[in-house]
Amino acid sequence: MNALANAEVGDYLNKHFAASYQKVGTFQLVRGQKQGGNVASYFCTPGGEILHAIPGPVDAATLLREARWVVETRKMALLDAGGDARKIKQAFRQAHVDRLAHADRLAEAAAKVNWKHLPFNEPSETVIAKWMDTSPVARQLDQQGKVHLLLALYPLVKLDQAYKVVYEKVLNEKISTQPVSETK
């Protein structure tokens, strides 16, 4: 599933994004092969606001499709917003709601929320984590659905406010500062 080894994916990401990585979990290298841990891919603004996130490893076609979705969604949001940051947030909220609507169990529930008039609350890591623990709606969703719901409620949340929640509450992994151990 090494999507980044795919030349088309690499070319697209290099053209549209600046790449970075941060190890936040524990894993081992055994004879050069990674064992354990997990991954989350984030598409962010230069200011560190999350446009989209993909929890877990995905294949090349999925990563490319999601990267294209981010690029096209951002282009439309910028075009329609005319420089209004609130309208850009609203556009990304609606884009994540639209992706959520494909989850059959939630289509009716999502339709009942007045997303356009829902306030943009300033999130904190603690508030987001508590919400993930207590939300009956979030419990019904798969990992990607949880991320769409999080980004619909908190569009353009800062990476530093959400990455631990995604890693621990969506991927069910533990944040760790332990170094990678290598076994030969």
Is the model more confident about 135 or about 156?
Answer: 156
Q: In this predicted model, what pLDDT tens digit does every residue of 64-109 receive, in sequence order?
A: 999 999 999 999 999 999 999 999 999 999 999 988 877 655 556 5
Q: In this predicted model, what pLDDT tens digit does every residue of 141-169 receive, in sequence order?
A: 889 989 998 999 999 999 999 999 999 99
Q: Give the pTM.
A: 0.84
Q: In this predicted model, what pLDDT tens digit does every residue of 30-48 receive, in sequence order?
A: 566 655 568 899 999 999 9
Is the model more confident about 119 or about 7?
Answer: 7
The answer to whether residue 135 scores a pLDDT higher than 70 is yes
pLDDT of residue 64: 96
Give the C-alpha separation, 106 to 103, whole Å: 6
The answer to whether residue 27 scores a pLDDT higher than 60 is no
Domain count, the chain: 1
Region 14-30: what's the mean pLDDT? 72
Residue numbers of the domain that contains 102: 3-183
Contact indicator for 144, 96 with CB cutoff of 8 Å? no
Give the three-class secondary structure for 178. coil
